[in-house]
A and B are shown apart, each in its own frame.
Chain A
């Protein structure tokens, strides 16, 4: 099956620092990757859609200058949380999209990254 990895799995940082999270599709190419955020006891909220070689599309209310997304290759997308603050503490999850047959629209999710900002 399609495997998506994320690194790191958890990170603790001081307020004001920047944190980079990597998302990789290990055995398939993904022209589109997605970044989600999940606060405790809440559902996943889509932050942005990342397309290889082009600028990411951010959902309403998500600051593009704070959450920098780079999708440099068909297997790697990165999310950088700049000048992180305690309210950015959350579970960040990426997914990679692939189509193996019409209508499958399968997204494969990474294991998530737990960010804690002190």
Chain B
């Protein structure tokens, strides 16, 4: 699975959009981009995923560049409860190793009042 690079930490003001970048320059054509987050002392929570088109759900939007070498997770109106570690993970959607997720260090997002 392709390796990802994320900034170790970011700050965001409450009510503003939080834009979390992720570089995955070695991504393969059959690999998806997944985002999870982990609030302190809890299990990770699935946020969103995409292959090449931009995606939006009730939690966030995912913008993937045309060359697919990077992506941005957007939390449109961050709240204090969005403070968490955000993990960007790239992996194939199927195949013999399907289901396996490799977590990097992620980005610690701190939302402040």
Contacts and interface: CB of A to CB of B under 8 A. Distances in A.
Interface of A: 4, 6, 32, 34, 36, 43-46, 49, 91, 93, 95, 97, 102-112, 114
Interface stretch (B12-20, B60-68, B71-79, B100-108): B100-108
A43 B103 contact: yes
A89 B36 CA distance: 24
11 contacts: A34-B99, A44-B103, A46-B101, A46-B103, A95-B44, A105-B32, A106-B46, A107-B46, A107-B101, A108-B46, A110-B43
B80 to A, nearest CB: 20
Q: For chain A, what secondary structure do more than half of its interface residues adopt (helix, strand, loop), or is it mixed?
A: strand
A31 B19 CA distance: 35
B46 A105 contact: no
Given A32-B99, A46-B101, A97-B99, A105 B43 contact: no
Interface size bucket, B side?
A: 20 to 34
B7 interface: no
Contacts of A103: 32, 49, 51, 93-94
Interface of B: 32, 34, 36, 38, 41-46, 49, 51, 87, 91, 93-94, 98-106
A44 B34 CA distance: 15
Given A97-B99, A103-B94, A107-B99, 16 more contacts: A34-B101, A36-B103, A43-B87, A44-B38, A44-B103, A46-B101, A91-B41, A93-B44, A95-B101, A102-B94, A103-B93, A105-B49, A106-B49, A108-B46, A109-B46, A111-B42
A92 to B, nearest CB: 10
A104 B43 CA distance: 19
Contacts of B103: 36, 43-46
Contacts of B32: 103, 105
Residue in A97, A103, A105 with the greatest tally of chain B CB atoms within 10 Å: A105
A112 B93 contact: no
